[in-house]
Structure formats: C-alpha cells, structure tokens
Structure 1
Amino acid sequence: MKRRVGSVNTLHQQSSVVQIRFDKTELMPVQIPHEDPLVVSLTVAECLVRKVLIDPGSSVNIMPIVTFDRLEIKPEELKSTRNPLLGFDGKRVEPIGTVELVVRAAERDLVESFVVVEIHPSYNLLMGRGWIHTVQGVPSTLHQVMRCLIPDGSKVIDIHGDQVAAKECYSVTLKAARKGNAPIRSADPH
C-alpha cells in the first residue's frame, strides 16, 4: 500500500491561504496612464501621517527630522547610530539617530525602527523592504495599492495609494530641484 504523504494537509493549507492578485478591473479608480509612486497614509505614534512613500528599493525606514519634530517625539527616544545611509547615487547621508515607533497598518500594530536624517524630501516618511515584508505586503504602483496578508494568511487587507499626494510630492521635488543648480530636463519624449 502506497502512503500519500501530506495530501490532506496540503489541501487544507491551500484552501485556507489567500493569494494576493491584481487584475485590470481594479484599475477603474486609478488615473491612467500614470507614473506615480505608491504614496499612502499610515498611523505612526498615534498620529495620522500623510505622504508616506512605499519604497521596496530601500533597505530601511526613513524619517526626515521635520517629521520627527512634528510627531513631537522626545529627543531622548533617539538612539545614536554609526551606520551611514547610501543613496542610489552613492552619496553618504549621516543619520541623526534611530527611533522605534508603533506603526498601525493592515489591522496590526508593529514596532518599526526609523532612521532619522537631516533631509528635506517631499514625503513625510519612507517605508522600506523590511516593513513591507513584515506586513506580508505586495505593493503595486500601477494599481496604487499595497496588498497585505494578515498574519495567519486568511485575509488580504489593502492600503490604498493617494495619487493626489503622489503628484504633490513630485511637484515639490521639481520645484526644489529648479532652485538648485542642476537643470531639470524631462527624459520623456512628449
């Protein structure tokens, strides 16, 4: 008699686990065409924070010093760090420190570490790969949503992007660049 190893468990596991999918019908509320990044709102340290950039290319969560100040975090909560950040252009940024804060998303509260830096970006926070993986998230800039599994994998929760906020961030970035010395040119053929 041949033994069927794991067939019952496999069927049970497959029926209780939800898969993350995106389809074209979900593009209905999205302004198409677009090249917007995924910018969302999250609750951080019991405050609603708008203009949070979801960045799967970042290895850390980043908090500009202005956001640290606006959240009224006590300076003694800042821990020192000697690890510099490297931007995609290879430039080093020396952090002011790190801080751990509760981030509420996808029906759970998670303590996340943020690297606090003296930068003035158009976004208020940047959430990197570690956080995306922790919430079991799959971001789609096209669909302007990050789909997250709850811890037991039985349900998907969406964190929707805000295209208006994304466009505001882009506009602020362009204005700041125009004030600098570098000329701004579009690589778009239009």
Structure 2
Amino acid sequence: MSVSSSHTEDLVLKPKRGKMQARPALSFSDEDKVGTYQPHDEALMVTLQIRGYDVRRVLVDQSSGAEIMYPDLYKGLKLKPEDLVSYDSPLVGFDRNTIIPRDMIRLPIWVGTKVVEVNFIVVDAYSPYTAILAKLWLHAIEAVSSTLHLKVKFPSGDYIKELIGSQTMARQ
C-alpha cells in the first residue's frame, strides 16, 4: 500500500493480520475551528448522556485527575444517599480551597457507541458546571481533546468521532 507524503500526517499505519491498515489519526487542524469564534478563551463544555439523560454544561478538563459531580446534577438525576459509596479524601478546587467530598457514585456515560462507567466524586459546592470529566475518562474512551478547537475526538471502529463543545454554553 502506498501513501503519499501529503497524507501521512492524517493516517496512522497499523498492522492487521500481516497487512498494513490505514486508520485515521486523532488530530486537529484549522478546519476544526470552523464554527467557533476565534480567538477565544472559553472552556471545553459539552453535552453528554449520563445515566440515560442528556446532561449539559459538562466540563472536559484534561488537567484534572478526578471526575466531579455537582449538586445540580445529583438532584437532576434523582440520586439518593443510598446510591453513594464512601469517599473521604479531600479535594483542592480551582480556587485552591479544600473541598470535602460528599461521597462517590459510579454512573454510565454514553459517547457514540461507547459506554464508560465513571466514578464521580460528589461535592457540595457551587459550580457553573454540572460535572467535570478528567484524564481518566478521556483515557477510557481513547480520546484527545482540544480547548482551542473546542472538540474531543475519539476512535469508533474505523472512524474518528467528535464531541463538539459549545461556546454559547461556556459563556453563560
């Protein structure tokens, strides 16, 4: 199989049963900025399906090490205290204040055809977000995120799927 040099940056060659197979790479280009206002400094906020519900204002934060759920989502999903499991390790918030978590809950998140179980740490604190998804979630779906492009890209079979962030939601 030959691949022209102009296309090599868009493809990753992987052996498959003795043959070379071209798979699209997880990458971003200027075309991925179409539909966004540039320059910008908005956070990457998406809508995801959590526990079967469309949940808006989910922050994708690749620098965070913990998946967080805030009170609005906890109430909106009609979760009960008996749904929680104990979690007692303190967290440090964006404002560098220590937050004592309420507890933890494991919930499914649908992304395309993938379903990933996520351990959310439930906190009683104000946030403009309903939840924060972090590195663990990105790694579980084998995704790459870009705040510049306001997108999350992840493999799905032979294709690359996208979650597109909302600048409007981020500005509210």
Q: What SS does the aligned partner of 1:109 have?
A: strand
Give the structure with higher Rg (CA). 1
TM-superposed CA distance for 1:11, in Å, is 9.6
Q: What SS does the aligned partner of 1:67 have?
A: helix
TM-superposed CA distance for 1:147, in Å, is 0.4
1:55 paired with 2:61, answer yes
1:99 to 102, 105, 112: 105
TM-superposed CA distance for 1:92, in Å, is 1.7
Q: Tell me which residue corresponds to 2:6.
A: none
Mean alpha-carbon deviation: is it higher for 25-34 or for 40-49? 25-34
1:160 paired with 2:131, answer no
Q: What SS does the aligned partner of 1:114 have?
A: strand
Distance in 2 separating the partners of 1:160 and 1:44 = 16
Alignment gaps of 5+ in structure 2: 1-13
Q: Structure 2: which amino acid aligns with 1:112?
A: V
Q: Could you tell me whether the CA contact under 8 Å between 1:38 and 1:141 is conserved in 2?
A: yes
Number of residue equivalences: 159
TM-superposed CA distance for 1:55, in Å, is 0.4
Q: Structure 1: which amino acid aligns with 2:165?
A: G
* Bigger helix fraction: 1
Q: Could you tell me whether the CA contact under 8 Å between 2:15 and 2:21 is conserved in 1?
A: no
Mean alpha-carbon deviation: is it higher for 35-44 or for 66-75? 66-75
* Bigger strand fraction: 2
1:145 paired with 2:151, answer yes
Deviations 1:51-99 (A, max 9, x none): 0000011111100122101110122111111211123554321100000
Q: Percent identity?
A: 26
Deviations 1:151-188 (A, max 9, x none): x5x321100001100111xxxxxxxxxxxxxxxxxxxx
Q: 1:10 to 1:67 in 2, by over 3 A?
A: closer
Q: Could you tell me whether the CA contact under 8 Å between 1:106 and 1:135 is conserved in 2?
A: no
Report the aligned-residue RMSD.
Answer: 2.0
TM-superposed CA distance for 1:18, in Å, is 2.5
Q: 1:53 to 1:9 in 2, by over 3 A?
A: closer
What's the TM-score, normalizing by structure 2? 0.85
1:112-151 to 2 correspondences below 5 Å: 112-150=118-156
